[in-house]
Structure formats: C-alpha cells, structure tokens
Structure 1
Amino acid sequence: MQILQGAHPHQSAGVGEHAGTAVLLLHGITSTPQMVRPVAQHLADQGFAVSSPLLPGHGTTWQDMATTRYADWLAATVSSLEALRAEHETVVGFGVSMGGALLSDVAARRPELVDALVLVNPAFAATDWRLKVIPHVKSLVPVAQALADDIRRAGPPRELAYRWTPLKAFDSFVEQWPRLVRQLPDVHQPVLLVRSRHDRIVPPVSAETLLGAIGSEDVTVRWLEDSGHVAPLDHDAEELIALTTQFVGRMEHGH
C-alpha cells in the first residue's frame, strides 16, 4: 500500500554525547509522523536517537485504518520501544493525543521500556456527546468527519491526516479510556505534560484526569498559549521543542 507523501516513518541514530539517549515520537489517531517531525528533527540534529513510527493503518487510506484497532497500535508502540531499549541507556517517549495515551499504557504495564514521558494534549477522556453515540452507530456509519488539523497558525504545513475517521477503529481507542485511567497510578516515570490553551479536540478534563490519577511524583505542566491540538505544527512549536529538548536532557543525566 502506497504511503502518503510526507507520512513516512522517521528514524535516525544518535551521535556524539547524546547517542545513548533515544526518543520515540508517536503521532495521534488518523495522523502520521509528519505531525511530530519538527520535534523529531530538532532532537536528531542535537544528536539524540529518534524514532517516529507510522502506526498500523495510518498514512495510507482511511479504509486501511478501518481494519486496525487499538491493540495493533499498542503492539507497534511496544515493539518500537523494545528496539530502542535494546540499544540505548535512556528511552523517552513523546506522544501527541492518542500517542500520549499509548505511551502511558506501556509506561504502566512495561515500565522497564520507557524512562520518561512527554505527553502533549494526551487523550484519556472527553465531554463530546458524539463519542457517546459511536458504539451505537459504528456498525451503521463507517466513518465520521476527521479530527485533523486543529492548528491556529495559518498556512503550511497543515497536518497530514485522514479527512475521515473510521468509527470502529476510533471506538477501539475510546473504549480503552476507563482502563487507561485506572492504571495511571502505576505510571511512576517523570512526566512533562504539555497542554495547548486552544485545543478543540481533547478537552481540559483529559489532562485533569491524568493529573488527578498519575502515580509519578515528578510531573511538570506547561501551557502553550497560542496553540491548538496539533501543537508541534502550531505557533508555539519552538517552545514545545525547547521544553522537550530540555526535559530529554534532564532525563539523560540521571533523571
């Protein structure tokens, strides 16, 4: 299956003093590694090893995604982290939206795989009434309009993501939320939680849920004042990059 131009996974080996530290960067649901590329590119330029996998069913057609489920995306996340852990002393996860939820899932259940988490507008909960009807309509309605491109900044690059959201695939993620929240107390790694002030996709209750339940004693919260949901492509991208690089550097030197 043809991967969309710009949607390819991205990987680079670490060099120099930072070669022992790797960062896994995960995109959100219906999206692609293009969403996190500015952060990945900067970290790679600094000498950190980076890996931005393309999650199963993403980056081709929404019909491909319709055949995949949360378990497939979780398995891809685990195998990516295992590969990085095999070769690096320190492994940090960076995830936007569902990417953040996937990382929290692995951090709770396989803590040996990831040393710290950067969670950008992670999705664990929502207030949107439409989510409540998905379980009832997903057999009748295969797709809904996409969640993509919540970016305040005008002009390119826009988010490279599907224009349609396959509902059965999407619901396989939503139905995990109660379990993900229940196991947040088992997440003990340091966390940098980055929140966009103008996120129209993931509501404040999601971050509040995370902060109320997470087991980590080292939690830093930072706000991006002029960004929507897709923060790495928005006005505050430079600030997000700086916060992430600083946090990864701190983890590298013994947390």
Structure 2
Amino acid sequence: MSGDKLSFFEPGTSGKAVLLVHGLTGAPAEMRLVARRFHRRGYSVYAPLLAGHGDTATTLRRSCWQDWLETVETAAEWLARRNDAVFAAGICVGGKLCLMAAANAPMHVDAVALYSPCFHYDGWQVPRYQSLLSQHLSWLSPIPLLGRLSFKETPSLGIKDTRMRRMIAGLSREGILDAFPAKALFEMHRLGETVKARLAKISTPTLIVHSRQDDLSGPSHARFIADHIGSRHHLHWLDDSYHMIHVDRQHREVADVSAAFFEAEYALS
C-alpha cells in the first residue's frame, strides 16, 4: 500500500474491495464521496495517488502513463492478496488505467467501472483550439515547445453542481492541479491508443457510466468502448452531471449503479 499522505484506505467487512482511481491532474481526495458510499456497503476502499501526481505540474511532466499504470497494478495486486474479490473504478484516465490493469492481470480485477471515459477532450465547454490540439496529439507531441505548455481547467471544473464545484476548487492543498500540462495530455493520448488496440481482447466485465451533459468528453467515447470491448458490459447514462460524475449531482447514483454491477458480476463468478 502506498505510503504517501494523499492516498487513503478504509477496511471493510465484506471480503470485497473497490480500487478507486482518480483522473489526470487529480488526487485521491476527489474519490472520497463514492468511497464513502461503497464503504457503507461493506467494501474495503483504496484510493492510491498515481505516480507523478499530487505535487506540481513539473513533477507530473516527468511521469508517463506506464508509471501511472504501475500504481494501479500494484494497488490491485495488494488488494487481491487480501480480499475475495477486487473491483476497480476510475474517472476518465483513471478508468482507462483500471481497464489496462484488468487486461494485464485479470486475476487481480474481477470487474471494472469506467466513469466518463475520454480519449480526447471534445465536450461542449472545451475551447475549439484545445479540442483540435487534443485530437491531433500524435503528430504534435514531438514538438518540444508544446510539451512545456499547460492548459487551464474549464470554468466549471467539469462539475455542474456549484456547491460541489466550490469544494473541489478548494482542494489544491490535497494535490489537485488546476491546469493540464501538455506533456500529460500526450501521455493520456498514448494510453488511450493502447486501450483502443486492446479493447476487443479484454475479458473483464465492464460498466461504463457517462453523462449526456459531459462538458469535457462527448458521449461518443462511451459508445466507442461499448461497441468495441470484448467483455460483458453495460452502458449507463446520466442526465444531470458534467464530466466529474463521481463528485457531481449524481455521485450517489454512480456509486450505487457500480455496486449493483459489481455484486451481479460477483454472483456470476
């Protein structure tokens, strides 16, 4: 288990655990609302800090997606040694890392929940220039200058509920950054391309939860995964949240739908 000050673990009583993975530039603190809901159901919950995160943009730039994945794989293995079943849930990049961890070591992850999956930023609130850059990262990434740039968060922070938005805005002390380093976006793109290439061979049952109002990632990303993943899966739509569905108005529904999916898959195993 990680020894940093930002990760958190709460032991449960059911013999089952949920691994919760934060998003790009995020931190474990953003997973606490859904963690609390899972924990009330008896699950152990573990939210590790991804490699390169929780410090500064400079630190994040020094990491790559393989470093992030190693964090998730190590956490999944740690939980698997101590529980009868391990489920992994992650927001955006965190979800893709969960999927990759399950693909690489299916014996450690029994089911996955993807929250607001995203391969590039194309939501209705993303500036046009940023959306175009996000969609063409494969040929932009070799340009050294671009790697040193950063892109500010959208004004909404991906959250429709204004009260929750204020709460997340105050979490900089918990390791959450307020801008996306371009280098990290390049790594997000590389991770996404790797996930796409492996979707058809993934066997781990997968829940996909996405909001039709997602301001950063359009619904096409969720549909793409549902259309191409090789495993048993379910696509659940939300209608009153933006991108950060795990902290927005429907975070309780997100956790409850996930728990129901996990329990159904556990019963089939």
Q: Tell me if structure 2 keeps the 8 A contact 1:92–1:248.
A: yes
Which among 179, 183, 193 is matched to residue 164 of structure 1?
Answer: 179
- 1:233 matched to 2:247? The reply is yes
| 2:31 maps to amino acid | V
Write out per-residue CA displacement over residues 35-71 of structure 1, whole angstroms, 9 at most, x where no aligned residue: 2211111112222111100111212222211111111
User: Distance between the aligned counterparts of 2:186 and 2:111, measured in 1?
Assistant: 28
Percent identity reads: 27
Q: How many residues align?
A: 246
* TM-score normalised by structure 2 residue count: 0.84
User: Distance between the aligned counterparts of 2:82 and 2:268, measured in 1?
Assistant: 17
Q: CA RMSD in A?
A: 2.0
| 1:222 maps to amino acid | H
Which among 47, 50, 55 is matched to residue 52 of structure 1?
Answer: 47
Give the structure 2 partner of residue 153 of structure 1: 161
| 1:10 maps to amino acid | F
| 2:237 maps to amino acid | W
User: Distance between the aligned counterparts of 1:138 and 1:111, measured in 2?
Assistant: 37
1:144 is displaced (CA, Å) by 1.8
- 1:204 matched to 2:214? The reply is no
Q: Tell me if structure 1 keeps the 8 A contact 2:212–2:218.
A: no
Query: What secondary structure, in the 3-state scheme, does the structure 2 residue paired with 1:177 have?
Result: helix
| 1:228 maps to amino acid | Y
Give the structure 1 partner of residue 61 of structure 2: 66
Q: Tell me if structure 2 keeps the 8 A contact 1:105–1:180.
A: yes
1:125 is displaced (CA, Å) by 4.7
Give the structure 1 partner of residue 194 of structure 2: 179
Would the alpha carbon gap of residues 187 and 142 (structure 1) be closer, same or farther in structure 2, given more than 3 Å must change?
same
Give the structure 1 partner of residue 203 of structure 2: 188
User: Distance between the aligned counterparts of 1:35 and 1:186, measured in 2?
Assistant: 31
1:245 is displaced (CA, Å) by 2.2
Would the alpha carbon gap of residues 138 and 22 (structure 1) be closer, same or farther in structure 2, given more than 3 Å must change?
farther
Give the structure 1 partner of residue 148 of structure 2: 142
User: Distance between the aligned counterparts of 2:119 and 2:151, measured in 1?
Assistant: 20
Give the structure 1 partner of residue 126 of structure 2: none
Q: Which runs of 5+ in 2 are unaligned?
A: 123-130
Q: Tell me if structure 2 keeps the 8 A contact 1:198–1:225.
A: yes
* TM-score normalised by structure 1 residue count: 0.89
Query: What secondary structure, in the 3-state scheme, does the structure 2 residue paired with 1:112 have?
Result: coil
Structural mapping, 1:114-153, within 5 Å: 114-125=109-120, 127=122, 128-131=131-134, 132=136, 134-140=140-146, 142-147=148-153, 149-153=157-161
User: Distance between the aligned counterparts of 2:120 and 2:56, measured in 1?
Assistant: 26
1:124 is displaced (CA, Å) by 3.1
Q: Tell me if structure 2 keeps the 8 A contact 1:126–1:206.
A: no
